[in-house]
Amino acid sequence: MEEFLEGFEEAKIPFEKKHASGHRERLRDKFLSGSPESFADYELLELLLFMAIPRRDVKPLAKDLIAEFGSYAAVLSADVRRLRAYKGLSDAAVAAIKSVQASAIYLARAEVADKPVVSGWQALIDYVRTGMAHQQREQFRVIFLNRKNKIITDEVLGEGTVDHAPVYPRELVKRCLELSATAIILVHNHPSGDPKPSKGDIAMTKELIKACSNLDINVHDHIVVGKYGHCSFKNMGLL
C-alpha cells in the first residue's frame, strides 16, 4: 500500500506542473486575445510574475501581494526594500514589478513632454498621479516650466515621513534660477490617500508663492495627489 501511495505521489508531480503550465498558457492567450480589461488585478500581477518566476504557481503569491499592499497599483508603487523583504519575491521579481511602474511613469510623462502644460492638463494630472499617488512617504515635487509653459524638468525637492515633506523657499528659488524657470507647478502626495490640503499645506504654499513672486516666478498651481483622487489649489481658490 505504501509503495502504491509513493508511486501515486511521484505521478502527481508532473500532472501539477502540466496543469500550472496550462494555466499560464490560457492566461497569456486571454491577455493577447485583446481583453486585458476583463482581467482581475491579481491576474495582471500573475502575468508579470510569470516572467520572473518560471517554475511555480504564482497565483497565491499574486493574491497575497495585493492583500498585503492593497491593490495592484500599490504593489507596483511599493518601496523596493519592502518588496525585497516579502517572502517569495526574488530580486528578479522585484525588478519586474518596478520596471512596469517605471514604464507607466515614462508613458505618462511622454504625454506631457514638449507641449504647453495648459493644453494637456489632464495628462499632467495623470502623470503626477501615476508616479506619486501610492507612495508610502510624503514627497514634494516641483515641475519647472519655461516661458512657453513647457516642462524643463521635474524634480523631488523634499521627501519625508508619512505626513510631512520639508521644502524650503530658498532652495526652491535657487533651483528656479539655475534652470531659468519662469513658472512652476508644485505637487505633493498624501500617503493617507485623502488629497484634501491641510492647514500646513496652505501655509507652506503661501510662503513659497511669496518667495517666487519676488523674482517674477509664477506658481501656476499646487496639486495634492492621493490614491483617492487629487486636489488643485487653483480650482479650490487657494492661490
Contact 224, 201 (CB under 8 A): yes
Contact 107, 49 (CB under 8 A): no
Q: Which three cell numbers stand for residue 52?
A: 520572473
Q: What is the pLDDT of residue 36?
A: 67
Q: What is the pLDDT of residue 105?
A: 85
Q: What is the pLDDT of residue 163?
A: 56
Q: What is the pLDDT of residue 21?
A: 63
Q: Which three cell numbers stand for residue 232?
A: 488643485
Q: What is the pLDDT of residue 67?
A: 94
Q: Tell me the pairing of strands 151-159 and 139-145.
A: antiparallel
Domain ranges of the chain: 2-105, 115-232
Distance between CA 15 and CA 45 in Å, rounded?
A: 24
Distance between CA 153 and CA 144 in Å, rounded?
A: 6
Q: What is the pLDDT of residue 173?
A: 94
- Going by C-beta distance under 8 Å and a sequence separation of 6 or more, which residues neighbour residue 48? 96, 97, 100
Widest pairwise Cα distance in the chain: 89
Amino acid at 3: E
Q: What is the pLDDT of residue 8?
A: 36
pLDDT along the chain (239 residues), means of 10: 41 47 80 77 91 87 93 90 92 93 86 76 88 86 93 88 73 94 94 91 92 93 92 93
Contact 111, 102 (CB under 8 A): no
Q: What is the pLDDT of residue 122?
A: 87
Topology (CATH level 3) of domain 115-232: Cytidine Deaminase; domain 2 (3.40.140)
Contact 224, 196 (CB under 8 A): yes
- Going by C-beta distance under 8 Å and a sequence separation of 6 or more, which residues neighbour residue 47? 27, 28, 31, 39
